[in-house]
């Protein structure tokens, strides 16, 4: 019988507690939801911008003009891979400080935190 191996969090990851604290701090990260506009409009993390994979590079250049800014990408839940793809794409586009919020909207709401609709 083999022991199940889980992948540990990396320094490029951010958890719910740290993200909530950082969003309420004096220098919050830029938060980007990597889902389509309908999902974003239904509810997103406070202050987030919508950065779907379609037209990604052009939207990133417009919405994320500072390649040195701390950026947190997320999607629907831990099983959604859009944020993983976005993290790799942003890194390849020269963004230096991209973190992954693996739990996404599901973890945010499970922690009792509210989504924004504006």
Q: Packing angle between helix 82-92 and helix 56-63, nearest 10 degrees?
A: 70
Pairwise CA distance, residues 10 & 59, whole Å: 27
Q: What is the pLDDT of residues 10-51, one digit of tens each?
A: 558 999 999 999 999 999 999 999 999 999 999 999 999 999
| Start-end of H helices in 43-101 | 56-63, 82-92
Residue 17 falls within a domain, yes or no?
Answer: no
* Domain extent at residue 93: 28-110
Confirm if 108 and 84 have CB atoms less than 8 A apart.
no
Pairwise CA distance, residues 23 & 31, whole Å: 9
Pairwise CA distance, residues 35 & 103, whole Å: 14
Q: What is the CATH number of the domain that holds 39?
A: 3.40.250.10
Q: What is the pLDDT of residues 60-88, one digit of tens each?
A: 999 999 999 999 999 999 999 999 999 99
Q: For the chain, how many structural domains are there in total?
A: 1
């Amino acid at each position: 019988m083999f022991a199940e191996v889980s992948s540990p969090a990396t320094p490029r990851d951010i958890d719910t507690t740290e993200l909530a604290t950082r969003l309420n701090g004096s220098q919050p990260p830029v938060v980007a939801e990597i889902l389509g506009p309908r999902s974003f409009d239904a509810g997103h993390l406070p202050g987030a911008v919508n950065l779907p994979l379609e037209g990604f590079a052009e939207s990133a250049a417009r919405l994320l003009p500072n390649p040195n800014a701390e950026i947190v990408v997320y999607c629907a839940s831990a099983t959604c891979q859009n944020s993983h793809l976005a993290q790799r794409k942003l890194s390849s586009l020269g963004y230096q400080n991209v973190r992954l919020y693996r739990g996404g909207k599901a973890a945010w709401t499970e922690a009792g935190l509210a989504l924004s609709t504006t």
